[in-house]
Structure formats: C-alpha cells, structure tokens
Amino acid sequence: MKNSDVYVCRFCHRQFVPDPRNKHHQKCCPRPVCRRALAAERQRKRRRKLKENQEEYQAYLEKDRERKRKSRAGAQKGRASTPRPPPFTGFDHLNFILTGMVAHFADTQNRDDISCYMNRMLETGRNFVRGS
Ligand SMILES: [Zn+2]
C-alpha cells in the first residue's frame, strides 16, 4: 500500500484507507461519529448558502421595489410635464356646451324642447344681468 493511499480524517485526525471508488473526494474516515460530523458540516454549509440566497433574494426584492417606485414617480413626473391642452377659448364651442347642458338638465334630445328651454334661459339671464 502506497503512503498516498492513506488519508487523515479531518475530524478525528486518524489515518484511514479511503474507499477506492470515493478516494478522490472522501473527506473523513468511515467512523459514524466522523460521518455525522461531516453530514452536520454539509448541512451548515447548505443552510448558510440558503440564508445567503435568502438575503440576496430580499435585497433583490428591495431593489425591485425601489425600481418600481422610481418608475412610478418617473411616470407621474412624465405626466406632469406633458403639455396640457390649451385653455378653452372658443365661444362657438361655448354655444355647443350650453346647448348640451340644457339638453342634459332638461333631459331631452328634442330640438323644440331645447330651443324652448334656451329661450327661457336667455330671458332669465338677460333679466338677471339687467337687474329686472
Ligand atoms: Zn474520523
């Protein structure tokens, strides 16, 4: 047996001959206490990795929330800077709007009814402005 065929267990520090099929990665002797120690070590590593991934994941979520918040703020800013439609100045449109309002409040689409209401309101408005 070559000396290189003898390993030293990392847990109990005893020499052991590794299983020929596993010798390239066998890390401890076959004693149950050492095998348990190895299993515990692997579990610690797995948990640490999981925790790191969890922290990474939480950091990712936080970053993503921040990105979405900024995106929303940007969209609102974008809306605010969008040019607003010019203020209404068309008096022709005002006639249409007033006619539409009369039709709406009188709850009718009938031209004669609307004309009748319009005339009545014209009269009321005139009287109000003239103070009579
Ligand atoms: Zn051992």
- Tell me whether residue 60 is in a domain: yes
Question: What pLDDT score does 2 carry?
Answer: 55
The answer to whether 12 touches 31, Cβ cutoff 8 Å, is: yes
Same domain, 107 and 68: no
49 and 14 in a single domain? The answer is: yes
pTM of the model: 0.42
Distance 23 CA to ligand 1 centre (A): 14
Quote the ligand 1 centre to 27 CA distance (angstroms).
Answer: 9
Position 31 confidence tier, pLDDT thresholds 50, 70, 90: very high
Residue-number span of the structural domain to which 121 is assigned = 94-127
Q: Does residue 40 share a domain with residue 15? A: yes
Query: What does the pLDDT read at residue 112?
Result: 84
- How far apart, in whole angstroms, are the C-alpha atoms of residue 34 and residue 18? 13
* Ligand 1 ion: Cβ-proximal residues, 5 Å cutoff: 9, 11-12, 28-29, 31, 34
Ligand 1 centroid – CA 15 distance (Å): 8
CA of 52 to the centre of ligand 1 (A): 30
For residue 132, being part of any structural domain is answered with no
Residue 15, beta-bridge partner list:
8
**Structural domain tally of the chain?**
2
Going from the Cα of 39 to the center of ligand 1, the distance in angstroms, rounded, reads 12
Give CA–CA dist 74/60, Å, rounded. 21
More confident residue, 128 or 77: 128
> What distance in Å separates the CA atoms of residue 55 and residue 128, rounded to the nearest whole number?
73
Residues 61, 123, single domain; the answer is no
Q: Is residue 71 a part of any domain in this protein?
A: yes
Residue 29 · residue 14 · CB < 8 Å: yes
Question: Is residue 110 very low, low, confident or very high in pLDDT (cuts 50, 70, 90)?
Answer: confident
Same domain, 99 and 73: no
Q: How confident is the model at residue 35 (pLDDT cuts 50, 70, 90)?
A: very high
Shared-domain flag, residues 11 and 58: yes
113, 74: one domain: no
Residue 88 forms part of a structural domain:
no
Contact 5, 17 (CB under 8 A): yes
